[in-house]
Amino acid sequence: MAKFIDRLLDPDAQQEEGQRQVNLRRLPGWVGWIAIVLIVAIYLVSGIYTISPSEEGLVKRFGRFVRTVDPGLHYRLPTPFESVVVVNILEVRKSEIGFRTISPAPNPRYQTIETEALMLTGDGNIAHVEMVVQYRVNDSSLFAFHLIDSATIVKQAAEAVLREQVATKSLDETLTEQRDTIGIESRLALQELLDSYGTGILIANIQLQDVKPPKEVISAFDDVNSARQDKEKLINQAERYALDLVPRARGEAQEIGNQAEAYKQSRIKGSEGDVARFVEVLAKYELGEEVTRTRIYIETMEEILPGMDKIVLSGHEDGLLKLLNLDSMGGGQ
């Protein structure tokens, strides 16, 4: 072939060398034409390309972006006229702050990056915050033509935004109720920042992973939790004590009240009983006062005197002695 080129470039040389190209000239002329057609065909076919379903194709003509193409089989003018840049627009990319995934699921292992995870809170404390940013391409032409290292830019912007957010919160807020707010606000701020850079990136999701006190002070924080438990425990014990004691006392009070009531009733009934007999007797007494008085007197004497040791002293000594119970007198002295 080099000979042909020489001849083309130098017409004089063609004349001289003409006689030496006999062998080639013997081939029929149409072989050359077929070769030309084949070369042109191959060249034109090289412009066929496919875009897979998750991708978008950006066609450049002489370096200038001219059109976007959807997934499928497409044709572009061959090099150097047109070229295609393919951007995956569905792939969710991930940026990790404060840790790295060393081995993915199903047995994930993570490594903490202390210098990234530790950050100052608004009240001058230090918190350990880990975050995952998930993002994807939103504007493929910006992403492809306006950005060099998307991963680094996203990561740095995310770090800056996260630290700015945490710096507005106290440590306690960061660890507890404001945790979700930090995630939400970081997402908005990061999106705004990336938009201001013109990156064509959409933040799909931001998740705060581990949010905890630095490991240097974690034992003190754990102790606060156990102190909280202790407090609950003390209160519960006290409540148990109170719940045990007060009802018992109320029972005892009932008992005292009932005993008093019983006493009262017994006194009343007793007195009524006592009085009832007296009233009966009095009614009879009024029928014949002197007779009844005597009768009661004598009846009483009859009732009590038998059980007694009796000594009757009389003016008549002899007569009296007869009445003495000598046995019991002897025993008594």
Partner 1 sequence: MRSLAIFVGIVLIAVIAFNLFTFTVDETRKAVVIQFGEIVRIVELPGLYSKIPFVQSVTYLEDRILNYDIQPQEVLTYDQKRMVIDNYAIWRIDDPQLFVETTGGRLVGGQSKIDEIVYSDLRNILAKHTLDEIVSAERVEYLREVTELSRAKLLNGFGIFLIDVRIKRADLPSEIEQAVFSRMRSERERIAAQLRAEGEEQARQITSNADKEVVIILAEAQKDAEKVRGEGDAQALEIYAGAYNQDPDFYRFWRTLESYKVALATDTRIVLSSNSEYLRFLESMLGQ
Of residues 8-67, those binding partner 1 (CB under 8 A): 8-9, 24-25, 27, 29, 31-33, 35-36, 39, 60, 62-65
DSSP state of 226: H
Binding partner 1 (rule: CB under 8 A), the pick from 52, 272, 291, 321 is 272
Minimum CB distance to partner 1, residue 54 (Å): 22
Minimum CB distance to partner 1, residue 107 (Å): 31
Size of residue set near partner 1 by CB under 8 A = 130
Position 281 contacts partner 1 (CB under 8 A): yes
Sign of CA dihedral 228, 232, 237, 242: positive
Window 91-110: residues binding partner 1 (CB under 8 A): none
Position 279 contacts partner 1 (CB under 8 A): yes
Binding partner 1 (rule: CB under 8 A), the pick from 242, 288, 291, 321 is 242
Binding partner 1 (rule: CB under 8 A), the pick from 265, 288, 291, 321 is 265
State how far the alpha carbon of 30 is from the alpha carbons of 7, 20, 36, 150, 169, in Å.
Answer: 21, 21, 10, 54, 83
Q: Are 108 and 181 in contact (CB under 8 A)?
A: no
Position 116 contacts partner 1 (CB under 8 A): yes
Bridge partners (DSSP) of residue 87 are: 56
The alpha carbon torsion through 41, 43, 46, 47 (nearest 10 deg) reads -90
Minimum CB distance to partner 1, residue 108 (Å): 26
The alpha carbon torsion through 260, 261, 263, 266 (nearest 10 deg) reads 180
Window 141-200: residues binding partner 1 (CB under 8 A): 141, 144-149, 152-153, 156-157, 159-160, 163-164, 167-168, 171, 193, 196-199
Q: Strand runs (DSSP E) across 71-123, as ranges?
A: 72-75, 82-88, 93-97, 99-103, 109-112, 118-120
Binding partner 1 (rule: CB under 8 A), the pick from 307, 326, 327, 330 is 307
In the bound state with partner 1, the residue whose beta carbon lies nearer, of 55 and 159, is 159
Report the residue count for the chain: 333
Position 235 contacts partner 1 (CB under 8 A): yes
Stretch that binds partner 1, among 69-77, 88-96, 175-183, 313-321 (CB under 8 A): 313-321
Which of 229, 243, 236, 143 lies closest to 194 in space, CA to CA?
143
